[in-house]
Amino acid sequence: MKNWIEILEKYRQKLNKYWVAVFVFAFLTFFTGDSTILKRISYSRQIKRLENEIKYYTQEKEKNLEKLNAIKSNRESLEKYAREQFLMTKPDEELFIISE
């Protein structure tokens, strides 16, 4: 405790009451309350993560729409999709499933 008192006495002349008020105001503004700097940083990280997810799902949506349009427009692509996804075969065909 003695060390703090000595430090304060040493720098007392250099510390102006206005600077103390500015530091207290800055501390209260930026580090306490509902919108602290730490919360703002975490919110900005969360926003970036969510924007990346939006980009990813938008790309996936476009890919799926292309596949859907291809399936709807061409009967051969519909048959190919059904064979690959649902393991469908014609009556005279045999199906071999190779697992990795």
Q: Give pTM, 2 decimals.
A: 0.55
Q: Which residue has the tokens 């060390």?
A: 3
Supply the Cα-derived Rg of the chain in whole angstroms: 33
Q: Do 49 and 72 belong together in one domain?
A: yes
86 within 8 A of 80, measured Cβ to Cβ:
no
Q: Specify if 94 maps to a domain.
A: no
**Sign of the torsion formed by the C-alpha atoms of 83, 67, 65 and 98:** positive
Q: Which residue has the tokens 């510390």?
A: 15
Total count of domains within the chain: 2
Domain range enclosing 48: 41-87
Q: Specify if 97 maps to a domain.
A: no
Q: What are the tens digits of pLDDT across the range 1-59?
A: 667 777 777 776 666 777 778 888 888 887 787 778 888 899 999 999 999 999 999 99
